[in-house]
């Protein structure tokens, strides 16, 4: 089975962050986008 990078993995590589930092940043982006829709 081929490895597929997750959004967290991609963010970590692109910005050189740790998993907890990447997860927190992406969670904030999703929450902000959700609030913009409502």
The pLDDT of residue 2 is 65
Q: Which residues span the domain enclosing 32?
A: 10-37
In a domain? residue 23 = yes
In a domain? residue 21 = yes
For 6, the token pair is: 């997750």
The pLDDT of residue 5 is 77
The pLDDT of residue 38 is 86
In a domain? residue 4 = no
pTM for this entry: 0.72
In a domain? residue 3 = no
**pLDDT digits 0-9 by tens, 1-38:** 566 679 999 999 999 999 999 999 999 999 999 999 98
- Total count of domains within the chain: 1
Q: Widest CA span of the chain, in angstroms?
A: 39
In a domain? residue 15 = yes
């Amino acid at each position: 089975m081929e490895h597929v990078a997750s959004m967290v993995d991609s963010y970590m590589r692109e910005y050189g962050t740790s998993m907890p930092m990447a997860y927190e940043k992406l969670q904030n982006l999703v929450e902000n986008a959700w609030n913009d829709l409502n």
